[in-house]
Homo-oligomer: A and B are copies of this chain.
């Protein structure tokens, strides 16, 4: 930070970063007739010795954002895309070690999953055995996210997911809460619990000296544990479910130290059908109004005892 000498009342430049956001890169690899696809949205943010470009407009230390875009595409060819995390590590290392004024690089990646289209030989005049190998349908469930940060020495890798909507149609209650003069909510002993999971977990891996996790295996395991913990928790509050989801991941996956959840409570209100002479009873199967806004929003960090929390509290989606 540097004093701006051009103004009578001094003004300071604080934290700053720049880069090209949302580079949409698709990488096809061919293994004989069998094709594989990686579909990413990559955002680059660089920071370092950037005072001059803010104070005077001198771009002498500025690698253009257009160049960071080109690098993403070139690296997808040169290094391939083994996983979102590994690809981010290649990019971050390149920017920090390749340009002296750049002291830190943060790569954010969204990944979209595809599955193969199943074809049937009987419907096809072609050789059915080949043709399925290059045809895909977008899976459409959660979006996988990753954030890789490197300052030339230490690595920080945060992975996660968003847009994963889950529901328990029973085994959820809500009662025994504080009641003040503005409280009108009736207690509930059998309600729907639904949320759209946004989760980010941080790996303990932080140095090239350490053994790197298997990013894809860890992702699959973390998602599985999270879903199972949600399903298997008899829930007295969404906070309790959140904690169970987080602690099961921390307890099951030694490579993960910390996880942050943002869980909107997707309210499903039991519709009052009594005016129409109908009993809308959960025990018999009921009818709900799925509300949009407002919604409860439950956010918390769950972490391994003894580690320092590092995931920011109110970040944008990675």
Contacts and interface: CB of A to CB of B under 8 A. Distances in A.
B123 A225 contact: yes
A92 to B, nearest CB: 15
Place the interface of chain A in its size category.
Answer: 35 or more
5 contacts: A7-B247, A57-B240, A58-B176, A126-B234, A136-B167
Contacts of A78: 278
A258 B315 CA distance: 19
B77 A287 contact: yes
A183 B78 CA distance: 16
Contact of A231 (B37, B73, B135, B247): B135
Contacts of A124: 228, 232
A290 interface: yes
Contacts of A137: 141, 164-167, 227
- Top 10 A-B residue pairs of the complex, sorted by shortest distance between their CB atoms: A57-B236, A14-B301, A135-B231, A16-B300, A57-B240, A65-B296, A10-B305, A140-B141, A138-B165, A59-B177
Contacts of A119: 228, 231-232
Nearest to A70: B182
B28 A99 contact: no
A62 B178 contact: yes
A301 B118 CA distance: 25
A212 interface: no
A227 to B, nearest CB: 5
A137 B266 CA distance: 13
A109 B66 CA distance: 30
Given A28-B288, A251-B7, A304-B9, A21 B296 contact: yes
Total copies of the chain? 4
B312 A176 contact: no
Contact of A35 (B25, B138, B170): B170
Contacts of A250: 9, 11
A53 to B, nearest CB: 4
Given A11-B251, A251-B11, A315-B316, A294 B24 contact: yes
Contact of A67 (B185, B248, B283): B185
Contacts of A37: 167, 169
Contacts of A178: 59-64, 67, 99, 101
A140 B56 CA distance: 32
Contacts of A156: none
A189 to B, nearest CB: 13
Contacts of A29: 285
A14 B258 contact: yes
Interface string A1-28: 0011001111111111111111111111
Contact of A294 (B20, B237, B243): B20
Given A137-B164, A275-B184, A25 B288 contact: yes
A26 B176 CA distance: 27
B309 A14 contact: yes
B62 A120 contact: no
